[in-house]
Chains A and B, each alone.
Chain A
Amino acid sequence: MIPAAFDYHRAATLDDAVSALAGGGEDAKVISGGQSLIPLLRLRLAFPSLLVDVGGLGDLRGVRDEGDSLVIGALTTHDEVTRDPLVAQHCGLLREAAETVADPAVRHRGTIGGSIAHADPAGDLPTVATALGATMIARGPGGERAIGAGDFFVDYLTTSLAPDEVLTGVRVPKLGAGWGYRYLKFNRTAQAWAVVGVAALVRRANGAVAEARIGLTNMGTKPVRADAAEAAAAGAAATGEALAAAGARADEGTDPPSDLHGAADYRRHLARVLTTRALVAAAGA
């Protein structure tokens, strides 16, 4: 199918992008790789009046080492994330999840910023951002602000970004020694969206789990943390049995959808099974 007509502005600078968005009003949208947006335009499920293309803003691309954290420029493609040595060294969970996004050609165009700003609860990277407790950095007319993942994802395809704000980067904590991780994406075919995904981070100390952080994909209208399972895992022995007890609480407090790709009860069940498996893998149990 064919997109409806829209105006197009290629931003020369970040400030230019912000002012173009401000001038474009509610129906202006940012585009970078377009891998989420263009299919929606083609299916005529989105009708922006103006697209502000930030794709040329080279400053927003690449990974910066900022001591305790990495800042990943919003325009860094999934493919670049999977190949970046800093990400590999300090945030393997993100690399592992980025490898599961769509397919190689889409990963060449799709960006981490686009994926996170699109805020699809079936998306992999919003979940990882949530599990990592990432901070989203946005630029608007009033300058820059940092938004924690818990505040950033508001609802289905909805973030707390203002219409005239541009997501410029994602700050993720460096995972020190002792942290293990696993992203498990359960989809029906290789390219399909996750029915359920689990991003698990486990810090081990003295043969036990000292801390666990678990994000769930497609278990609600936004990416969610499995709080009860995290609490149950903390302090548990790093054994399959103990972690299964924690995994069994993964769906507590979630409100998964029932749709073509899975009924809510099946999603709850999958979340429990996959969380157990992800915890076991992350803990090296």
Chain B
Amino acid sequence: MPKITVNVDGVAYTDEVEPRLLLVHYLRERAGKTGTPVGCDTTNCGACTVQLNGVSVKSCAMLAIQADGAEITTIEGLGNGGWHPLQRAFNEEHALQCGYCTPGMIMAAADLLRTNPHPTNDEIRQGLEGNLCRCTGYQNIVRAVRRASEAGAAT
């Protein structure tokens, strides 16, 4: 079986993987990163969004073997041991209810702020178009991303 080495949230892992193993299953079941959930089969929901080499990707639409050599950041590593400004803002603005979409939503928002540190509300909505939430109606998510951007989350 092919072997891959990946760095997940600052820790290097070397594992044998079946080629068809999805990255999200690798993260959840091999690296123990269960903070990243799976919500669909078709890249629509975005719950599984992580950062791969600094940009957002949907870890259910990638093979683990394709991540060989990559640096991956999940929701569990985003705050570097503390809370990232987005995590704080999601709490402060009540931007989550059941919380299932939240890891992906925050990772997508982090990517948005990376490329656009001070987005308008419309730009926030556009930036999160690949992440579905069934609880919040998105209103407080937009507020939270705004709040984080004002707090300088991108830096």
> Is A34's CB under 8 angstroms from B57's CB?
no
Cβ–Cβ < 8 Å partners of B61 in chain A = 34-35, 38-39, 106, 109
CB distance from B132 to the nearest CB of A (A): 8
Q: Which of A3-11, A117-125, A160-168 contacts B (4 or more CB under 8 A)?
A: A3-11
> Is B20's CB under 8 angstroms from A104's CB?
no
User: Chain B CB within 10 Å — which of A8, A10, A35, A79 has the most?
Assistant: A8
> Is A7's CB under 8 angstroms from B19's CB?
yes
A88 at interface by CB-CB < 8 Å: no
B31 at interface by CB-CB < 8 Å: no
A43 at interface by CB-CB < 8 Å: yes
Find the A residue at minimum CB distance from B50: A105
> Is B111's CB under 8 angstroms from A106's CB?
no
CB distance from A212 to the nearest CB of B (A): 29
B43 at interface by CB-CB < 8 Å: yes
> Is A103's CB under 8 angstroms from B46's CB?
yes
Report Cα–Cα, A35/B58, bound state, in Å. 9
Cβ–Cβ < 8 Å partners of B108 in chain A = 104-105
A41 at interface by CB-CB < 8 Å: yes
Report Cα–Cα, A129/B127, bound state, in Å. 26
Chain A interface category by residue count: 20 to 34
> Is A1's CB under 8 angstroms from B56's CB?
no
Report Cα–Cα, A97/B101, bound state, in Å. 28
Pick the contact of B49: A1, A31, A38, A105 (CB < 8 A): A105
Cβ–Cβ < 8 Å partners of A55 in chain B = 66
B55 at interface by CB-CB < 8 Å: yes
Interface size on B, residues (CB 8 A): 31
> Is B43's CB under 8 angstroms from A35's CB?
yes
> Is B129's CB under 8 angstroms from A43's CB?
no
Chain B 27-53 near chain A by CB (<8 Å), digits 1 or 0: 000000000000001111010010010
Known contacts A2-B22, A6-B20; decide if A105 and B130 are in contact (CB<8 Å). yes
> Is A103's CB under 8 angstroms from B41's CB?
no
> Is A103's CB under 8 angstroms from B63's CB?
no
Cβ–Cβ < 8 Å partners of A41 in chain B = 20
CB distance from B122 to the nearest CB of A (A): 12
Pick the contact of A8: B2, B49, B112, B126 (CB < 8 A): B2
> Is A79's CB under 8 angstroms from B55's CB?
yes
B92 at interface by CB-CB < 8 Å: no
Pick the contact of A191: B19, B44, B111 (CB < 8 A): B44
Given contacts A1-B41, A41-B20, 9 further A-B contacts (CB under 8 A): A39-B43, A103-B130, A104-B130, A105-B46, A105-B58, A106-B61, A108-B56, A108-B57, A190-B126
A residues at B contact (CB < 8 Å): 1-8, 10, 31, 34-35, 38-39, 41-43, 51, 53, 55, 79, 102-106, 108-109, 190-191
13 CB < 8 A contacts A-B:
A8-B19, A10-B65, A31-B63, A31-B66, A35-B43, A38-B63, A42-B42, A103-B129, A103-B131, A104-B108, A105-B130, A106-B58, A108-B52
